[in-house]
A and B are shown apart, each in its own frame.
Chain A
Amino acid sequence: MRRGPASNALAVGYLVLLGLYFLVPMLAMARFAFQSVPVALLTWQNMGTGWSGAGLLDALTDPKILAATRTSLILVVGAVLLNLALLLPVAIAVEVRHPRARATVSAITLLPWVVPPIALVVGVAATFRSAAPWFLASPLSLVPFYALWAMPFAYRALENGLRSINARTLVEASLSLGCTLPRTVFRVLIPNLGSALIASTCLTAAMVLGEFAFASLLLKQTLPTEMLNYQRGDPRGGLALALFVLLVTAGILAIGVRALQRKGMHLQATGL
């Protein structure tokens, strides 16, 4: 269908507005974080003067930030592994053996988003404080919360991936050729689920790196909570760090997406 010039102009105008909606706050953030000019004196005329990365460098070398980053990365790995260990067998079982349970299981995976973090933390804390206090003392106690919190996205990525490779037929073909189910999972399903596994991992990682409520409520020092603390002492450095984390996360996602596209994988089927 051919569109008229008025319609084209409207579309371009809409896209420009959308771009500005994202870019203007980012630019403002960048100027505040990286320009050594008092906020009241920031104008279009001094856009090119006084830029410095010293604040960011200070933040990146801060021992507390480094420790919190390490903790967050460990939590990412833990949450990803726990999610895959819990969700992959369920997704395979539903897709291959019990396709009629799809809607029910899909609804169940949404439940973590129905319960507010505060209710979840209070309930779990009340249970574990007396039964297993060591659990809440460790920063790793956040892993199950994060795995649960990322579950709706991670499960959908796996479910879509399994459906897009027609997992049921592949499993039946493999079984009919004399392969057992566990071997089929490792030799056929997992090698063909690359895009879904990467999507699930990226989504879980993005959730964990940006999560604040659980960590704050359980008094854990993760990257988001520590960034807030740091910003209280050095607002410019804190904001520079936030911008840096945002760009690094976006960069990793872009590299992942590019790698998947090069392999000819269907991104829309994985939720990315």
Chain B
Amino acid sequence: MARVEFNAVSKRFGATQALTEFSLTVEPGELVCLLGPSGCGKTTALRILAGFERADSGCVRVDDQDMADVRVERRNFGMVFQEYSLFPNLTAEQNIAYGLRARGQGRGSTAEVVRRMLELTDLHAHAAKYPHQLSGGQKQRVALARALATSPRVLLLDEPLSALDAKVRETLRDEIRRLQRELGITTVFVTHDQHEALAICDRVAVMSNGGLEQVAVPRVLYDSPANAFVASFIGSMNRVPAIAAPTGSWLVLGTMIRGVVLTDGHAATATALVRPEQLSVRPDPSANAEITSAWFLGPITRLLVRGDDGRELTVDMLSLEAGGLRVGDRVQVRLRPEAEAVVIL
């Protein structure tokens, strides 16, 4: 199990600063996600780690070894790409054996590893098929098996699920996590899908504009975002006024809370970022808000509530609780009393 460190890595492509002083440590056996919007530098960071790009400044170390002068083929990393990258002229099992053969491993031991990888990824039935005979999910499973076959020090996953449909994506996502845990391999996973990141990673590194915004375990990232960018990027947020109380608490939608305070100074008013599931509605014909839209999403129902002052709030309620609510109902919106993780800006 290897330890990966990015130390103040910067990279520029022409006029675009792709990475700025990017620093991150991935502990041995950990699965860390680089999460951020398109163009935030996450793929550049991964490609520098893989050796496909050189950093302009800073360094990448693996187990304290500076990787700057280590050629790609000598790094012993496994990589799964966003595009299907199987070699079209080779069958699934030949693809899996490719890395082992390139390293001069004997036929016997190669066959044994290939058999184990096919078993791990449940691909036995497809071993003799060529890539064009496989579905998208099967192709990515072969790519994963191929990357793992060489027992890499680090596994790099560059948006490996983005080309797959929702159901297959979910299954393969869980499979990646299972294999990563079973093999205890240090893994860096690049994605722009926050659900993917929150679901399978030990820690998530949120990036924007070539820099790191916050690194934390998913729960902390969700409940205690370090800044407004992370708060608004992870999940969805309502912006509502917050009024400071002398006790150090804040009055938000009629409820006193302590909140996660990011504002500095001692402002009397601020903006609270409230997640849709932290709100609830109660029918009240004399209330000053009305349900304008409702979407049944299975276990939850999403409501769009417009106040008489024109402000709109999104509210997520358990469908069991929202059964009697209809579009056009007058409702009172409240902050749930248990909602402590409200960000005050």
Interface on A for B, CB 8 Å cutoff? 165-166, 169-170, 172-180, 183, 188, 191-192, 264
Q: Which residue of chain A has its CB nearest to the CB of B47?
A: A172
Contact status A169-B132, CB under 8 Å: no
B217 to chain A, nearest CB (A): 29
Please choose the segment from B4-12, B22-30, B77-85, B189-197 that sits at the chain A interface, where 4 or more of its residues have CB less than 8 A away.
B77-85
A183 to B101, CA, bound (A): 12
Give the residues in chain A near B132, CB-CB below 8 Å.
Answer: 264
- CB-CB under 8 A from A178, the residues of chain B are 73-74, 76, 99, 102-103, 150
Q: Chain A's nearest CB lies how many Å from the CB of B90?
A: 9
A176 with B79, Cβ < 8 A, contacts A188-B87, A192-B89 known: yes
Cα–Cα, bound, A191→B156 (Å): 27
Give the CA-CA distance A192 to B86 in the complex, in Å.
11
The 6 closest A-B pairs by CB, nearest first: A177-B99, A179-B102, A173-B85, A176-B79, A191-B89, A175-B72
**B: number of interface residues (CB 8 Å):** 27
Query: Which residues from chain B sit less than 8 Å from chain A, CB to CB?
Result: 50-52, 72-79, 81, 83, 85, 87-89, 98-99, 102-103, 132, 143, 146-147, 150, 156
Contacts of B99 in A (CB 8 A): 177-179
Q: Closest residue of chain B to A176, judged by CB?
A: B79
Complex-state Cα separation, A172 to B102, whole angstroms: 14
In angstroms, Cα B150 to Cα A179, docked, is 12
Docked Cα-Cα span, A183 to B98, in Å, equals: 12
Shortest distance in angstroms between A138's beta carbon and chain B's nearest beta carbon? 39
Partner of B85 from A166, A179, A180, A183 at Cβ < 8 Å: A166
Are A173 and B88 in contact, with the CB atoms below 8 A?
no
Cross-chain pair count, CB within 8 angstroms = 62
Judge whether B88 and A165 touch: CB under 8 Å.
Answer: yes
* A172 touching B52, Cβ below 8 Å: yes
Chain B residues in 8 Å Cβ range of A176: 50, 72-73, 75, 77-79, 147, 156
Considering the chains assembled together, what is the distance between the CA atoms of A165 and B74 in angstroms? 25
Q: Is the interface of B mostly helix, strand, loop or mixed?
A: mixed
Contacts of A169 in B (CB 8 A): 81, 83, 85
Query: Is there contact, CB below 8 Å, between A179 and B73?
Result: yes
Q: Assess the B102–A177 pair: CB atoms within 8 A.
A: yes
Q: With the chains together, A176 CA to B50 CA distance in Å?
A: 8
* Complex-state Cα separation, A188 to B77, whole angstroms: 19
Give B88's nearest chain A residue, CB to CB.
A192
Check A174–B52 contact: CB distance below 8 A.
no
| Distance in Å: Cβ of A264 to nearest Cβ of chain B | 7
A76, chain B: closest CB distance, angstroms: 27
Apart from A169-B83, A174-B98, A176-B78, 18 more pairs, CB < 8 Å: A166-B85, A169-B81, A169-B85, A172-B81, A173-B79, A173-B143, A176-B50, A176-B72, A177-B73, A177-B98, A177-B102, A179-B98, A179-B102, A188-B87, A188-B89, A192-B88, A192-B89, A264-B132
Q: What is the CB-to-nearest-CB distance from B19 to chain A, in angstroms, rounded to a whole number? A: 19
CB distance from A194 to the nearest CB of B (A): 9
The 17 listed contacts between A and B (C-beta, < 8 Å) are A169-B85, A172-B79, A172-B85, A174-B87, A175-B51, A175-B72, A176-B78, A176-B79, A176-B156, A177-B98, A177-B102, A178-B103, A179-B98, A179-B99, A180-B73, A183-B102, A192-B89
Q: Give every chain A residue within 8 A of B102 (Cβ-Cβ).
A: 174, 177-179, 183
Q: Would you call B79 and A166 a contact (CB within 8 A)? A: no
